[in-house]
């Protein structure tokens, strides 16, 4: 079983970085980047106030479907969405009589894929994010790495590549009692009016995929064209109907 998703240093030659990212998108759908131009002090300035922010919200006693609390900032409709996320172990109120736990207590965010193009995540040192390994079909941890950003492909990017790039399922395991988990997720969701259709794959691309996977990419079209906005609307309706995990609980 793979120990974790790839970690890619941006200090390497451009060709090496591009090749590593392409392979990660193909084989995992997730990777971490290090040595970016974002100074650690800026990441700290973003993460450090979160305990205070969510502490101020506590008296409000927000009613949420998940164990997490979210502050949401969006720009240009669906194009970009930033969430400040707080997970904590829920208070016990009965549940399983044997151990005092409800069956969902160990899950901070249940198994899901992201609906958009690309997600960038800054997580604290608690971790608890897990990603589905495609080869073993088991969930592997994404360990907190100082100065790293976690990147993952979303459903729309997978549709653009006819399933070649993976929109991997992932989840967050609830932290242990007394430990809070904080993260900041930036969801890049695309222009809601843009039609998402399978991009033409040239011979070089097909040869590269075959070299990576030992088989040529799927020739048959897997997805019909759909606008980004319509795709989100469809998934929201499924979510409301209880058929699919809402993106408000991601990462």
Q: Which CATH fold topology does 7-89+102-245 show?
A: Jelly Rolls (2.60.120)
pLDDT per residue over 124-141, tens digit each? 999 899 999 988 999 999
Domain boundaries, the chain: 7-89+102-245
Burial label, 131 (beta-carbon count in 10 A; 0-12, 13-18, 19+): buried
Calculate Rg over the CA atoms of the chain: 19
Strands (E) across 63-137 are located at 68-75, 80-88, 107-112, 118-123, 129-133
Of 89, 239, 119, 99, nearest in space to 190 by CA: 119
10-residue averages of pLDDT along the chain (251 residues): 81 96 95 94 88 72 45 54 82 50 56 94 93 92 94 96 94 88 91 91 84 83 93 87 52 59
Of 151, 114, 157, nearest in space to 5 by CA: 151
- Predicted model pTM: 0.81
pLDDT per residue over 25-63, tens digit each? 999 999 999 999 999 898 888 888 888 888 776 655 444
């Amino acid at each position: 079983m793979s120990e974790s998703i790839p970690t890619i240093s941006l200090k390497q030659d451009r060709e090496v970085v591009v090749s590593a990212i392409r392979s990660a998108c193909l084989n995992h759908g997730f990777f971490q980047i290090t040595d970016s131009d974002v100074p650690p002090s800026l990441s700290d300035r973003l993460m450090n106030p979160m305990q205070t922010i969510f502490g101020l919200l506590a008296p409000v006693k927000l009613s949420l479907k998940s164990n997490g609390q979210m502050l949401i900032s969006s720009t240009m409709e669906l194009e970009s969405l930033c969430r400040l996320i707080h997970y904590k172990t829920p208070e016990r109120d009965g549940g399983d009589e044997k151990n005092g736990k409800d069956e969902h207590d160990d899950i901070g965010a249940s198994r899901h894929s992201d609906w958009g193009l690309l997600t960038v995540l800054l997580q604290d040192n608690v971790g608890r994010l897990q990603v589905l390994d495609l080869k073993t079909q088991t969930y592997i941890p994404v360990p907190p790495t100082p100065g790293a950003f976690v990147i993952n492909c979303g459903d729309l990017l997978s549709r653009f590549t006819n399933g070649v790039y993976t929109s991997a399922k992932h989840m967050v395991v609830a932290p242990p009692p007394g430990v809070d988990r904080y993260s900041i997720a930036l969801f890049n969701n695309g222009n809601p009016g843009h039609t998402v259709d399978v991009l033409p794959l040239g011979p070089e691309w097909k040869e590269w995929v075959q070299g990576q996977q030992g088989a040529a990419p799927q020739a048959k079209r897997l997805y019909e064209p759909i606008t980004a906005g319509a795709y989100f609307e469809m998934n929201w309706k499924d979510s409301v109907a209880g058929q699919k995990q809402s993106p408000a609980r991601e990462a």
